[in-house]
Structure 1
Amino acid sequence: MDNAATPSLAEVANVATSVGQSIARVLEGKPRQIHTAVVVLFAEGHLLIEDVPGVGKTALAKALARSIDGEAKRIQFTPDLLPSDVTGVSVFNQTTREFEFKPGGIFANIVVGDEINRASPKTQSALLEAMAEDQVSVDGHTYPLPQPFMVIATQNPIEMEGTYPLPEAQRDRFMARIQMGYPARSSEVAMLTSQAAGDQMASISPVTDVDFIARAVTTVRQVYVAPIINDYIVTLVEATRNSPDLRLGASPRASLHLMRAARVEAALAGRDYVIPEDVAQLATTVLSHRVLLTVDAQVARRTSEQVVAAVVTQVPRPNRG
C-alpha cells in the first residue's frame, strides 16, 4: 500500500483488529475494554480508565502505545506536580540570550497520565487546552502537539485516600470512560502463567505506526452519518438532561464524541455508514462519566452507568427501514 494513500475501510478494520490482539497479549479477558480503547484512538478522543489499583489500567495504556509505534510518555500525577511539568516551560539560554521552550510530558502521541486524580486541580487543568485543541500555550506562545495525540488517563476511585475528584470540565474532555474490573479466575491464572516467562510488555511489537493512524482517521471521517442518526444521538443526550435521576445531563460535546465514536464502530464493522446500534452500543461508555446523579439516586445506590443505560433503553431507536 502507498504510504501516502488513504487506507480503505477494510485496511482500517484489519489494523484495528491487530492493535486489539496486540493489547490482548498482556491484558487477559478484557475484550470490551480493549475494543473501547481502539475505538477512542481512531475517533481522535481521549480515554479515562477508572478502577482500583492493580487491575491493568496502566498496562492497557502502555500496550496501546507500543502497538502503534508512537512516541509515548508517562506522567505520574502526584500532589506536588506542577502545570509546567505537564505543558513545558520557557528557560533562558545564557549562550543565545534568548528564552527556549522545553516541552513537557504532554508532547507525545500517547500520553499516559497515571493516577490523574492525585494531582491538584490546578495541575489537572493544564491538560484542558491540550485535550481540546491539540496544542499548549506557554508564555504567550502556542505549540502544536504531535499527531495523532491521545491522552489515556488512569485514576483510582475518589473514595481512595489522597485523591481529588476530576472537575466536570476535565471529565467532559474524555471521549469515554471504562472500568477494568477484576479479571475472571481463568484470566488471572493465565496472567500468572504468562508472567512466569518474563515481562510480556517487552514482547509487544508495533503492528502499525502513527502515520497510518493519522491517515486512518481521514478514512473514518468519511463514514456517513444520516440526519436521522444525528437526531437519535441528540435525543439520547437530551434524555440525560431530562432524567429525574440526574442533576446534570450530558453536554453538546458529548453528542459530538458519541457521533465520532459511532463512525469508528461502523468502520470497524466494515460499514461506510452508521446504524442506530453503533450509537446505542457506545452510549453508556461515552455519556456516563459526564453526568451527575441526584441525591436520591445516590441514596438508592444507583450508578451513572445504570441510569444512562436505562435512558438508552427507553429512547426508541430510529427505524433503519
Structure 2
Amino acid sequence: MEEYIEQRVDLTLFSEKIQLLRDQIASVIVGQEQAVDLVLTAILANGHVLIEGVPGVAKTLLARLIAQLIEAKFSRIQFTPDLMPSDVLGTTVFNMKTSEFDFHQGPIFADVVLVDEINRAPAKTQAALFEVMEERQVSVDGTTHRMGELYTILATQNPVEQEGTYKLPEAQLDRFLMKITMGYPSLEEEVAILERHHTNAKLIRLEDIIPAITCEELLSLRTFMSQVFVEPSLLKYIALIVEQTRTSKAVYLGASPRASVAMMQSAKAYALLQGRDFVTPEDIKFVAPYVLQHRLILTAEAEMEGYSPIKVTQRLIDKVEVPQ
C-alpha cells in the first residue's frame, strides 16, 4: 500500500512537469491541443513523429518549440531534392596534421532533430535515416556512432504539393511511431492568432523561452512507463485491432507487429499524460488512428471510392468489441 501511495505522489510531480510543458506551448501556439498531446505522447513513448499539414499551420514552430522546452540539443535539416546521405549523416575527412581520417558529424547528430519537408528528398537520402530511426545509431565507413537516449526525429511534410516531392518508403513510414495531421484553426483560434500578431505584445520569441524540463528529467519521467498497468484483455484488444488491418478487404498492406507494440507504448504514455498509471480502452482508441494510418496501404478500389487511411482505420477500430 505504501508503494502505491508513493507512486501516486510521483505521478503528481510528473503531471506538474507535463502541465508546465503544455502551458508553455499554449503561450506560443494557439489551439492545436490534440497535436501537442500526441507529440508529447510520442516523445514519452520514445518514438519519432511525422507531422503533416498544409503550409502555415505551425508544424515547424511546434517541433522547434518542443525542442526548446526540453533542454535538449536541437538540429534542423531542410530536405531538398539534391540532398545527399552524407549531407545528413556526416562525412569522413582526411586530416593533414594527423595523417588520419576524421569523422565530421552531420546534422542528424542531436537529441531532437527536425526534418523539415521530409518528402522533398529522394529515396537514397531517405534510406540514410533507416538505421538511425530504428537502432538510434549511424554506421559510416565501418564505424558505429551511437545516439543519446532521448534521440527523437520530428519530421514535417506538406500533403498538398506534388511537384518536387517523393513518396516516403513504407519501411521508413513504419519507423514513425505516429503520424499527426495538423489542421486549420477554428474561427475563435484564428481571431486569437490575429490579436497576438496585431498587439505584438503577446508574441514570444523562441530564443526567450526558458526550458520547462531537462533531458535528464524527461528520461526519468520515461521510467514511469514500466509502471503503467495494462490488463491482458486490453493487450488482446490491441492485437484484434491490428489483425483487422490484415484481414480487411479495403487494405492491401496491413500493420506489422511493430504497430502493435507502438500502440501499446503510445496508450501507456497517453495514460500517463492524463495522470493515470493504468491504460483504459479509450486511451487505445485515441492513439490507434495516429499509430496506424501511415502504416496501411489501401487497395486501389478503396482509394477510388474515396476512402482515406484515417477513415479506414477508424472503421476497423469501431469493428472491434471494446473490452469491459
Normalised TM-score (structure 1): 0.94
The structural deviation recorded for 1:14 is 2.1
Write out per-residue CA displacement over residues 148-205 of structure 1, whole angstroms, 9 at most, x where no aligned residue. Answer: 0110000111653110010100101111111111111221222232233355434422
The structural deviation recorded for 1:133 is 0.8
Pairs within 5 Å for 1:38-49: 38-49=40-51
Pairs within 5 Å for 1:1-20: 8-20=10-22
C-alpha distance in 1 between matches for 2:109 and 2:227: 28
Match of 1:32 among 34, 41, 61: 34
Name the structure 1 match of 2:248: 243
The structural deviation recorded for 1:229 is 1.7
C-alpha distance in 1 between matches for 2:43 and 2:267: 13
Name the structure 2 match of 1:59: 61
The answer to whether the aligner puts 1:112 opposite 2:117 as a matched pair is no
The runs of 5 or more residues in structure 2 that have no matched partner are 1-6
C-alpha distance in 2 between matches for 1:158 and 1:142: 38
The structural deviation recorded for 1:53 is 1.3
C-alpha distance in 1 between matches for 2:276 and 2:228: 8
Write out per-residue CA displacement over residues 191-234 of structure 1, whole angstroms, 9 at most, x where no aligned residue. Answer: 23223335543442211111111111112222122322211111
C-alpha distance in 2 between matches for 1:269 and 1:279: 13
Name the structure 1 match of 2:280: 275
C-alpha distance in 2 between matches for 1:176 and 1:134: 17
Opposite residue 178 of structure 2, the aligned amino acid is A
C-alpha distance in 2 between matches for 1:108 and 1:19: 21
Quick check: 13-22 or 86-95, which moved more? 13-22
C-alpha distance in 1 between matches for 2:240 and 2:87: 41
- Identical positions, percent: 44
Pairs within 5 Å for 1:177-256: 177-195=179-197, 196-197=200-201, 198-256=203-261
Are the counterparts in 1 of residues 28 and 204 from structure 2 also a CA contact under 8 Å?
no
Report how many residues are paired: 314
Write out per-residue CA displacement over residues 103-156 of structure 1, whole angstroms, 9 at most, x where no aligned residue. Answer: 111111110000000011110111111110111111111111122011000011
Q: Name the SS of the counterpart of 1:234 in structure 2.
A: helix
Are the counterparts in 2 of residues 158 and 165 from structure 1 also a CA contact under 8 Å?
no
C-alpha distance in 2 between matches for 1:11 and 1:47: 26
Opposite residue 164 of structure 1, the aligned amino acid is Y
Q: Name the SS of the counterpart of 2:54 in structure 1.
A: coil
Normalised TM-score (structure 2): 0.93
Opposite residue 43 of structure 2, the aligned amino acid is L
Name the structure 2 match of 1:312: 317
